Structure 1
C-alpha cells in the first residue's frame, strides 16, 4: 500500500485494498510463489476492487465451498 497510494484502476481514489495481480492468491500459492510479495499486487480503491473481483471471480471466496 505504500507503493500504490492511488487506485491503479481509476487513478482517482485513495488505494485502500491490496489486490493480487495479475495472478490471484490461489494461483500464486499453487505455483509456490509468495502471495504476499508486493511484486504480485497492486493498490485499489474498494469500488474498483469489488468490480474487478466480481468480474473475474464470480461467486467470490464462497464458490465451491464444501458446505
Structure 2
C-alpha cells in the first residue's frame, strides 16, 4: 500500500480469508492475495478485521 518498503507479509485481497472460505474458494491461492510490508499489513488488518481475523464461527 505504501509502495516504499519491501513486501514481507501475505495479505488476502480483495476478499478476506473468512469470505473466501465461506464461498468455497481456496484462500491460499495466490490469485486472492498480495504482498504488503508489515506496517501496511497491520494497518489494513486492523481497519478491516477489528478484533483479529479469527472469530469462532460455527459452519
Shorter-normalised TM range: 0.7 to 0.9
Mapped partners of 1:34, 1:64: distance in 2: 19
Q: Secondary structure at the match of 1:27?
A: helix
Find the partner of 1:24 among 13, 16, 29: 16
Structure 2 segments unaligned to the other structure (5+ residues):
none
Q: What is the root-mean-square deviation in Å for CA atoms of aligned residues?
A: 1.6
TM-score by length of 1: 0.77
Alpha carbons of structure 1 residues 63 and 31: separation in structure 2 relative to 1, 3 Å: closer
Which 4+ stretches in 1 moved above 6 angstroms? Answer: none
Higher relative contact order (CA 8 A, sep 6+): 2
Q: TM-score, normalised by structure 2?
A: 0.86
Residue correspondences, number: 57
> Larger radius of gyration, structure 1 or 2?
1
